[in-house]
Structure 1
Amino acid sequence: MSNRSSAAVAVRGAVTRDEAEHVRDAVGPEISAVGHPVEQARVRLTRYGGRDLPMFVVAQVNVVVADRMVRSQLSAPSAAEAIDGAAAGLRWRLHRLGRRLAAERSGDIGLGPAGWRPVLLPSPVGLLNGRTRPCKLVRSKSCRLAVQDVDAAAFTMELRDYPFHLFSDDATGAESVLYRGGPTGYRLLRTVAGPELSGTAVPLTVHTWPAPVLLPAQAVESLNASPARSFVFFTDPAIGRGRVLYRRYDGDLALLSPAW
């Protein structure tokens, strides 16, 4: 089955007609080649920078296939480079999802260690770290956390092109964060102390100590003091839950919290 409908393009900033057409040329064939119904397809182009900071464009593609959300995004100095990179990431992730759906139909959804690669595609670049003033917390949002094991969390993170994934560990119920890094390619942080995990398909380095206990203002100070870090995972003593403070593309900060 193929999907001939083109992706709708939601534009932010000054994006030309030629750039919008390039989105359709680059992303449209990837969507048309999907062997399952595409329920949603959206592409967003956003320009950042200006004044004394470099300009760059972020292309983000979101599709829903077989009730799975797939996302790919990339930033680059030009819209064409960002679009092409996001389309390449979408192609890989749709292929990965297709393999998973085929395995589900056959009743074999296991994924061995060889099925994981620590860095699948270049991570988005272009975070505006060149500003001299401290970064501010400008947005707070909450989401209902998926209850998952680590392998399922890794699959979600890769399909959605997340730099980190906040989820609820199915064994302990603790808020946990999975992200790329460390000698194995993936690291796991938890709000509670715990041992190394065994039997996971994803190659994993586990922090056996709990996430630090911080107030949001302290987390902002911590991240401002560490320009190379992209996020900080912490337990907020005011609510007793794990939260993530992370850098936005515009250089300021956002706070992600579990929904009650």
Structure 2
Amino acid sequence: MSRSRPTTPDAAVQVTVRGDVPDDAVRYAEAKVAHLDRYAAQPVLASHVVLTVSADPAVAWPARAEATVDVGGTLVRAHAGAADVTRAVDALEDRLRRTLLQHQDRERTRHRWTGVATEGEWRHGDLPTERGPFFPRPPETREVVRRKTFALAPMTLDEAAFEMDLLGHDFYLFTDAATGKDAVVCRDGDGGFAAGGETTAGAGMVEVRETPAQLTEAEARARLELSGEPFVFYLDPDTGRGQVLYLRYDGHYGLITAAGE
């Protein structure tokens, strides 16, 4: 069951709660989201926050905070999960602030994600992360020495590219918010961005509608070795979730896996 708490004119934030959400957490969310208008490129017309607490003890992150902010007619969304509502709101505030700054940056330049900047303009992505050379380890001696599994948060292609930029990574595995499919965004080598998987394009990016291959780990290794690319994005044949096998700079492999349902 969900309920909505009316907002005050000053806060201009509507909060909907689902589950056992304390009233002080609602007030906390109102205050945290209301002050973010300072980061908006245009006037904030409305803000809606959804706070959810799951009663399922098996859920790793039972508290979830989601927000939709209407910035001059453009909807900006963010969400976060945590062990409790307060932490989820804190994480939501941080992500929403960064998303609003990203939107503000787009308002300043139409070339935010195209790899084209005007003279004297600095953008995320102008200078890809500098890496040292790969250790020339023979393919037959390579091993998967690092494995990570993440619960992927749904986001837009723009949001994923922005997260990748903030982290300084060369690729970023995510679930596309529009299609519900796992996808990957990466640098295209020319200061821009490219995407793989069934995803919907963001501003200045090419729409991609391509179902990645289902591969075993051994098949992914073989493809990576033959292609000479830094990583391969594929679907696990058992779970159907996205995976990225990548070449580490010590010459071994790393594997990033989307957590199953």
For the aligned pair, the TM-score class normalised by the smaller chain equals: 0.5 to 0.7
1:146/1:168 contact within 8 Å kept: yes
Give the total of aligned pairs. Answer: 157
Q: Deviations along 1:79-119, whole A, 9 cap, x unmatched?
A: xxxxxxxxxxxxxxxxxx9xx949949xx747253333634
Give the aligned residue type for 1:149. T
Name the counterpart of 1:126.
132
How far apart are 1:182 and its partner, in Å? 6.9
Name the counterpart of 2:222.
221
Secondary structure in structure 1 of the residue aligned to 2:136: coil
2:171/2:184 contact within 8 Å kept: yes
Partners of 1:144 and 1:186 in 2: how far apart? 23
Tell me which of 168, 176, 198 is aligned to 2:175: 168
TM-score, structure 1 as length reference = 0.52
Give the aligned residue type for 1:204. M
Name the counterpart of 2:244.
244
Partners of 1:222 and 1:102 in 2: how far apart? 36
Name the counterpart of 2:106.
111
Secondary structure in structure 1 of the residue aligned to 2:235: strand
Larger radius of gyration: 2
Q: Counterparts in 2 of 1:1-260, with a 5 A limit?
A: 67=91, 101=97, 104=100, 109=104, 111-112=106-107, 113-116=110-113, 118=115, 119-134=125-140, 135-181=142-188, 185-190=192-197, 192=198, 197=200, 200-201=202-203, 203-227=204-228, 229-260=229-260
TM-score, structure 2 as length reference = 0.52
1:233/1:244 contact within 8 Å kept: yes
Segments of structure 1 that go 5 or more residues without pairing to the other structure are: 1-65, 71-96
2:105/2:112 contact within 8 Å kept: no
Partners of 1:216 and 1:156 in 2: how far apart? 26
Cα RMSD over matched residues?
3.1
Name the counterpart of 1:57.
none
Partners of 1:209 and 1:170 in 2: how far apart? 16
C-alpha distance 117-158 of structure 1, shift in aligned 2 (>3 A):
farther
C-alpha distance 223-101 of structure 1, shift in aligned 2 (>3 A):
same
Q: Deviations along 1:56-97, whole A, 9 cap, x unmatched?
A: xxxxxxxxxx859x9xxxxxxxxxxxxxxxxxxxxxxxxxx9
How far apart are 1:140 and its partner, in Å? 1.6
1:186/1:205 contact within 8 Å kept: no
Partners of 1:154 and 1:138 in 2: how far apart? 26
1:166/1:177 contact within 8 Å kept: yes
Secondary structure in structure 2 of the residue aligned to 1:157: helix
C-alpha distance 127-137 of structure 1, shift in aligned 2 (>3 A):
farther
How far apart are 1:189 and its partner, in Å? 0.8
Partners of 1:247 and 1:219 in 2: how far apart? 12
Name the counterpart of 1:35.
none
1:163/1:180 contact within 8 Å kept: yes
C-alpha distance 141-103 of structure 1, shift in aligned 2 (>3 A):
closer
Instruction: State the structure with bigger RCO (CA 8 A, min sep 6), 1 or 2.
Output: 1
1:176/1:189 contact within 8 Å kept: yes
How far apart are 1:151 and its partner, in Å? 1.2
Partners of 2:153 and 2:192 in 1: how far apart? 22
2:216/2:237 contact within 8 Å kept: yes
2:129/2:169 contact within 8 Å kept: no
C-alpha distance 103-147 of structure 1, shift in aligned 2 (>3 A):
closer
Identity over the aligned pairs, expressed in percent? 32
Q: Deviations along 1:207-254, whole A, 9 cap, x unmatched?
A: 432111111110011111223x11000011121111110111211001
C-alpha distance 121-208 of structure 1, shift in aligned 2 (>3 A):
same
Q: Deviations along 1:133-159, whole A, 9 cap, x unmatched?
A: 433222221012121011111111111
